[in-house]
């Protein structure tokens, strides 16, 4: 039956200061005078001397005169450091011991490990071992092959029944990538150990102390006497002690795993715990210092080779990304159309991020490349990013874990990398990676917990049988180089967008100057043309009067054509003059009752309507803030337009309605006239644009352009919809409150 241990407190257990050691050796702590101030309570089992009796005395009282002289001589030659160093071997009574020394909390810590040999450790095999290992590593290309080679060498040196090499992933889980084992041992190759198997504080110890050995998982700890460091009054720090006792939870874990002896070698890459070489044996097994030192050296060399391999792979990956980046930037600067240029480099865009799809949201346009979510889903994601992510880059390989609607996008967007290219608008460049369904083989159920008595008393998981878990909603993770180069790409994009904005601003400034010059010119020309055109009309009338006796029918027809053409030209000049004034005159806003304004326009149209039958439907219209003269001209043009295009109807129907929201009033002028094809609705409000033949419906082509200019000067907008031979509706909006600056000339 498993021993009861409080696993709930395991993560906070003081494993650096257990207050005890493993009993295959003993410990003495000396102050700076060489006086023994702390000893392990198994001293008598090794030397025949009681630990309490030697406190306050010299080494001779603990070890005997000969051994004490030997140890003192070694200590005089070497100042203890923070990590244990080997000072040779010493005979104490009938036993032979390896001596390790290090400094901790102002004490000199002496550790004596009982060994079976009767001479000092022999390190002559270390040089050929390291040389052969380096030579073999040179012929390997992958980290897995290197790890397999290291596992083989460590097993040969240590004699353990099973040696694993596993690396930690970003979540702290250990993935077994190499293994060497004797027959009869369970294989864990390619399986994973959950991060909870190694608490954070244990990982910190693996960083500071690179090797740890447990010769017998069934040992009884030997306590330190006194328990606290006499110099500090605090528990003695045994983090670097080779004999340090380990957590009862870990010992139970080993027994549950069928392991009675273990050794771990840390693989530290760039100051980070990259992984472990973990050795297991079904029976108790002690490894002497020289063999442990060899295994530690093999681990350090493997870690350096892994670092070199990863750096090399990352370097070549960065080179390839930078090549693609340069190619993309070259294509993006070929013309002024930023989004169009992006479409031209779509293959490189996807290759750059190893993505299956990409999208750019720019100036209210969504352009997609490859396999992506739908446009509305991309817009929703961009809105969420704008509200929740304020960094220069957003990335995840499990979108559904952070985005509420992410589960709907799993198929093609489990992974997202997004670059904001505007601080004001939701302009984004996004890459998408598809869901990568994969099955993880765990060494036992990582979620397993077993009660063993009281509610807080638990045992470590007892089963290490393969437990498979299918992972959904994740994509291939984003590499650090991809994120770094993506930020560089963003900086370049911002430069391109800024340059484009500057060009557009310069163009707008030039266009503004040209418009003002054109307005001044059109005003001058329109004003100067009015008089001669009126003269033509007047003289045509006089000629018609002179010919009133018996005029030639042809001559009269010609004179009337001259008169009609001159009148139309005069109307065109008047409209042009009015259009130019729209951009020159200042707005003088006041409160306007739209019901009264519409009625005034109807009265003005009465002469044009004549005997025609028109059903007017005027809804309840609000009071607005606008320039009366300009707004009346706009409404008159819209109503006149409706009257003109309903002429073919036996009974015309024209309605004027309004609606409002928090920010604006919206007006609609509907008719049952000839309508138009909505495909060409965007042309209606441009100068001289017609959707019908002039022979059918006369007009200058300036009225609706005037409407747009007037409404936009008030801060509103205009639009239209229609169906051929099915009527039309012209709409415009006015803000509820004119902003500062809308009352002055453009």
Q: Does domain 7-13+123-220+232-312 have CATH number 3.30.450.40?
A: yes
Residue 737's pLDDT is 83
pLDDT band, very low/low/confident/very high, at 232 (cuts 50, 70, 90):
very high
Mean pLDDT on 261-284: 94
Taking the domains of the chain in order of start, what are their residue ranges?
A: 7-13+123-220+232-312, 20-115, 334-478, 503-582, 586-735
Q: What is the pLDDT of residue 1?
A: 35
Please tell me the pTM assigned to this model: 0.62
In CATH terms, the fold of domain 20-115 is Beta-Lactamase (3.30.450)
**pLDDT score at 389:** 84
Interatomic CA distance for residues 737 and 341, integer angstroms: 40
Highest-pLDDT range among 59-68, 425-434, 480-489, 585-594: 59-68
CATH of 334-478, one of 3.30.450.270, 3.40.720.10, 3.90.740.10, 3.60.21.10: 3.30.450.270
Given the DSSP bridges, would you call strands 25-30 and 192-193 parallel, antiparallel or unpaired?
unpaired
Cβ-Cβ contacts under 8 Å for 313 (sequence gap 6 or more) = none
Q: Which of 54, 25, 21, 14 is nearest to 37 (CA)?
A: 54
The pLDDT of residue 460 is 45
The yes-or-no answer to whether 20-115 and 334-478 have a common fold is yes
Give the pLDDT confidence score for residue 641 in this predicted structure.
85
CATH fold for the domain made of 503-582: Helix Hairpins (1.10.287)
**For position 447, what pLDDT does the model report?**
60
Tokens matching residue 22: 């493993």
Q: Residue 204 class from Cβ within 10 Å (0-12 exposed, 13-18 middle, 19+ buried)?
A: middle
Q: Which pLDDT does position 560 carry in this prediction?
A: 62
Question: Could you tell me what percent of the chain has a pLDDT over 70?
Answer: 77
Instruction: Pick 585 or 477 by higher pLDDT.
Output: 477
pLDDT tens-digit map of 675-684:
888 777 767 7
Higher pLDDT, 698 or 138: 138
* Cα–Cα dist 210/90, whole Å: 25
Q: Which residue bears the tokens 């410990």?
A: 27
Query: What's the confidence (pLDDT) of residue 733?
Result: 93
Contacts for 294 with CB less than 8 Å, ≥ 6 apart: 125, 126, 129, 157
Rounded Cα–Cα distance for residues 544 and 556 (Å): 7
pLDDT exceeds cutoff 80 at 583? no
CATH code of the domain made up of 586-735: 3.30.565.10
pLDDT band of 563, cuts 50, 70, 90: low
Task: Give the DSSP letter string of 235-265.
Answer: B---TT-TTB---HHHHHHHHHTT-SEEEEE
């Amino acid at each position: 039956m498993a021993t009861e241990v409080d696993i709930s407190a395991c993560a906070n257990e003081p494993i650096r200061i257990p207050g005890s050691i493993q009993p295959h050796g003993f410990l003495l702590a000396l102050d700076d005078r060489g006086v023994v101030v702390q000893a392990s309570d198994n001293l008598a089992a090794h030397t025949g001397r009681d630990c309490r009796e030697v406190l306050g005395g010299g080494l001779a009282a603990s070890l005997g005169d000969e051994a004490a002289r030997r140890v003192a001589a070694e200590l005089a030659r070497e100042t203890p450091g923070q990590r244990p160093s080997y000072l040779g071997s010493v005979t104490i009574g009938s036993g032979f011991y390896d001596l390790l020394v290090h400094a901790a909390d102002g004490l000199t810590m002496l550790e004596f490990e009982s060994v079976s040999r009767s001479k000092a450790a022999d390190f002559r095999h270390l040089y050929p071992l390291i040389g052969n290992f380096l030579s073999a590593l040179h012929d390997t290309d992958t980290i897995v092959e290197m790890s397999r080679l290291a596992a083989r060498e460590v097993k040969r040196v240590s004699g353990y029944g099973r040696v694993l090499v596993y690396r930690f992933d970003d979540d702290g889980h250990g993935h077994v990538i190499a293994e060497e084992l004797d027959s009869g041992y369970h294989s864990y190759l390619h399986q994973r150990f959950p991060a909870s198997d190694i608490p954070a504080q244990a990982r910190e110890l693996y960083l500071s102390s690179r090797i740890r050995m447990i010769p017998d998982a069934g040992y009884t700890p030997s306590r330190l006497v006194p328990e606290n460091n006499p110099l500090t009054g605090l528990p003695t720090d045994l983090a670097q002690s080779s004999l340090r006792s380990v957590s009862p939870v870990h010992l139970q874990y080993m027994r549950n795993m069928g392991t009675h002896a273990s050794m771990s070698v840390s693989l530290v890459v760039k100051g980070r715990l990259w992984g472990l070489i973990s050795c297991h044996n079904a029976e108790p097994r002690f490894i002497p210092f020289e063999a442990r030192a060899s295994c530690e050296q093999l681990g350090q060399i493997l870690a350096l080779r892994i670092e070199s391999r990863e750096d090399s792979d990352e370097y070549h990956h960065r080179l390839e990304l930078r090549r693609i980046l340069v190619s993309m930037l070259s294509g993006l600067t070929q013309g002024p159309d930023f989004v169009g240029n992006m479409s031209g480099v779509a293959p490189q865009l996807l290759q750059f991020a190893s993505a299956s799809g990409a999208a750019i949201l720019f100036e209210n346009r969504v352009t997609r490349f490859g396999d992506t979510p739908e446009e509305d889903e991309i817009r929703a994601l961009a809105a969420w990013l704008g509200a929740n992510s304020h960094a220069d880059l957003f990335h995840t390989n499990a979108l559904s874990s952070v985005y509420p609607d992410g589960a709907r996008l799993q198929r093609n967007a489990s992974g997202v990398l997004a670059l904001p290219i505007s601080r004001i608008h939701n302009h984004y460049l996004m890459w998408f990676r598809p869901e990568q369904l994969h099955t993880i083989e765990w060494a036992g159920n990582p979620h397993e917990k077993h009660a063993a008595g009281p509610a807080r008393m638990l045992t470590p998981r007892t089963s290490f049988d393969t437990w498979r878990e299918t992972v959904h909603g994740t994509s291939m993770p984003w590499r650090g180089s991809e994120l770094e180069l993506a930020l560089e790409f963003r900086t370049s994009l911002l430069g391109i967008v800024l340059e484009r904005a500057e060009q557009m601003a310069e163009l707008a400034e030039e266009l503004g100057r040209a418009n003002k010059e054109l307005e001044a010119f059109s005003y001058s020309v329109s004003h100067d043309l009015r008089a001669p055109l009126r003269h033509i009309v007047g003289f045509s009338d006089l000629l018609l009067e002179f010919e009133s006796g018996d005029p030639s029918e042809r001559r009269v027809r010609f004179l009337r054509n001259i008169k009609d053409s001159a009148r139309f030209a005069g109307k065109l000049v008047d409209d042009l003059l009015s259009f130019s004034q729209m951009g020159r005159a200042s707005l003088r806003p006041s409160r306007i009752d739209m019901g009264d304004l519409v009625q005034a326009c109807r009265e003005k149209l009465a002469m044009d309507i004549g005997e025609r039958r028109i059903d007017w439907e005027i809804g309840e219209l609000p009071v607005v803030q606008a320039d009366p003269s300009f707004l009346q001209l706009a409404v008159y043009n819209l109503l006149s337009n409706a009257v003109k295009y309903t002429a073919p109807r036996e009974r015309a129907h024209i309605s004027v309605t309004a609606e409002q929201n928090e920010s604006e009033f919206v007006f609609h002028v509907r008719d049952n006239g000839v309508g138009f094809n909505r495909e060409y609705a965007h042309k209606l409000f441009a100068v001289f644009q017609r959707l019908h033949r002039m022979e059918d419906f006369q007009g200058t082509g300036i009225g609706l352009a005037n409407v747009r200019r007037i409404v936009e000067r008030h801060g509103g907008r205009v639009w239209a919809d229609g169906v051929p031979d099915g009527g039309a509706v012209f709409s415009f909006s006015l803000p509820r409150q004119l902003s500062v600056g809308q009352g002055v000339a453009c």
